[in-house]
Amino acid sequence: MKKNIALLAGGYSGEYVISIQTAATIEKNLDKERYNIYTIIVTKEGWWYNDEKKGRIELDKNDFSLTLDNEKITFDLAFIAIHGTPGEDGRMQGYLDMMDVPYTTCNAIVSALTFNKSYCNKVVKDFNIVNIANSVHLIKGEPFSIGSILEQIQLPMFVKPNESGSSLGVTKVKNVEELYPAIEKAFLEDDQVLIEEYIEGRELTVGVYRIGGRLVTLPATEIVSQNEFFDYEAKYTPGVTNEITPAPIDDQVRERLASKSEYIYRHLNCRGVVRMDYILQKGTNKLYFLEVNTMPGQSEASLIPQQVHAAGLSLKDFYGDIVEDFLNQEKVTQ
């Protein structure tokens, strides 16, 4: 019997369009002979399914169901494809937990923790297995001093919203005059701001997921941006960034990336597909941890699909394995 999959897309943030693209990739590569797939658009105005004949059908949030042709449809699994809030910050996960619907990402607590860059960095720093850049954490409404920031972090530095994706609101600050405007810009995206020291080096990113209790690390990607850093334009404008998969790194660096990423995945209690970003520092070859993305972009040209192909896998098998793994986990807990 075919399973009903709710593919959640959209969201409340500036990453809405990227989420729609991610969901399109996932839907295209899920086996229609095994699953009934219902793409649910999630916005602040409502959650709905676009029926080919009847148009917009509102989802019943009371029990996470759809009614189509007088038939009530419930779901065996929610495949979350929402970047930012509410799909990456733990809110959707908490709701689905209350609805007793399994889902394909980290749980609510882990999602909330990893979405807050400052809090996540503090936890990962305590693992004592990877370097973390020095940083200052600002909260809207709390006083701060430009002088105090400069005493703790040298220029250049990055100013970024603490809870935002796709590099929205991020500025690389090279001189003192740019610092305050950069902080104001970041506060437009979030009530918390993270100011980090700049680590010169190569940007590397790697996908990790678990299948049947076994961790799988995908081939890493090196990101070489023509812009100052891997900002929104660099991420989503063709030709601005050269993404090299697999990354041209030696075996020692590759093994360090894999072992550290798997350690962080296990000790943060991650689930589903996550992507971890690092800087390989120039001159020292030290690895600096940047962040965990618990809902990484998965449009056709995104990093995770690139890494899946580099691993010799098809996206159909990749997404099918993930869905089956979560459905099997649900059977075991029943």
- Per-residue pLDDT tens over the stretch 28-74: 999 999 999 999 999 999 999 999 888 999 999 999 999 998 999 99
| Fold held by 112-132+200-294 | D-amino Acid Aminotransferase; Chain A, domain 1 (3.30.470)
Instruction: Please give the pLDDT value at position 230.
Output: 47
Range(s) for CATH 3.30.1490.20 in the chain? 135-197
For strand 171-173 and strand 157-161, is the pairing parallel, antiparallel, or unpaired?
A: antiparallel
Which amino acid type is present at position 275? R
**C-alpha span between 76 and 35 (Å, rounded):** 10
**C-alpha span between 245 and 303 (Å, rounded):** 8
Instruction: Please give the pLDDT value at position 236.
Output: 47
Whole-number percent of the chain with pLDDT over 90:
82
**C-alpha span between 81 and 39 (Å, rounded):** 10
In CATH, what class is 135-197? alpha beta
Confidence class for position 332, pLDDT limits 50, 70, 90: low
Range(s) for CATH 3.30.470.20 in the chain? 112-132+200-294
**C-alpha span between 140 and 187 (Å, rounded):** 7
Instruction: Please give the pLDDT value at position 15.
Output: 87
Instruction: Please give the pLDDT value at position 163.
Output: 79
Query: Residue 241: which residues within 8 A CB-CB, separation 6 or more?
Result: 223, 224, 225, 226, 227, 230, 234, 235
Instruction: Please give the pLDDT value at position 162.
Output: 86
Taking only the tens place, the pLDDT of each residue in 123-139 is 999 999 999 999 999 99
Q: What CATH number is given for 3-104 in this structure? A: 3.40.50.20
Answering whether pTM is above 0.75, one says yes
Range(s) for CATH 3.40.50.20 in the chain? 3-104
Taking only the tens place, the pLDDT of each residue in 135-157 is 999 999 999 999 999 999 999 99
